Amino acid sequence: MLTKKMLRRKLRLIFMGFAIAALLIGSLAGCAADGINNGHRTNDGKSETYGHDGYMGYSNSNPNLPNNLTFLNYESDRKLVNQVLQPIDGVKSSRVSFNGEDLNVRIYPTPGLTADQMEALEAKVQQVVAFNMPRYHVKVKVSR
């Protein structure tokens, strides 16, 4: 037979068990996302998130990281140099090479240019390429 003391003790243990469970559930629910913005910071109600691409979502926030497809590379830089050289009169063909942060451009001028015209062409190519490729040290040479 249960005495009053034993009954109180059992009820106290049951109550403590429920209280501890309620506190655990409440504390875990407080750490979860609020359901409106899924735990992301918001800017005037617009969610700011980055894609999950295997690098903890950071490569979409910095497009120049090497693991991003839009990372700047020598091939795309070579195409850009050739593209900016096309409209320049007097350039027959060009050869572009890279050595770290040095960009070497060799210009083959159209036949019949004088020495002064070749110097002017070299200066113009130097200016145009250096303006379009600011991250390189540009060196231009004119060859026959």
Which tens digit of pLDDT belongs to each residue from 93-136?
Answer: 999 999 989 999 999 999 999 999 999 999 999 999 999 999 89
Whether 124 contacts 88, CB under 8 Å: yes
CA atoms within 13 A on the CB side of 134: 1
Q: What is the pTM of this model?
A: 0.53
Contact (Cβ atoms closer than 8 angstroms) between residue 92 and residue 109: yes
pLDDT tops 90 at residue 36? no
Helix (H/G/I), strand (E/B), else coil: 102: strand
Say how far apart CA 89 and CA 136 lie, in whole Å: 24
The domains located in the chain, with CATH, are 74-142 (3.30.70.1350)
CB 95 within 8 A of CB 105: yes
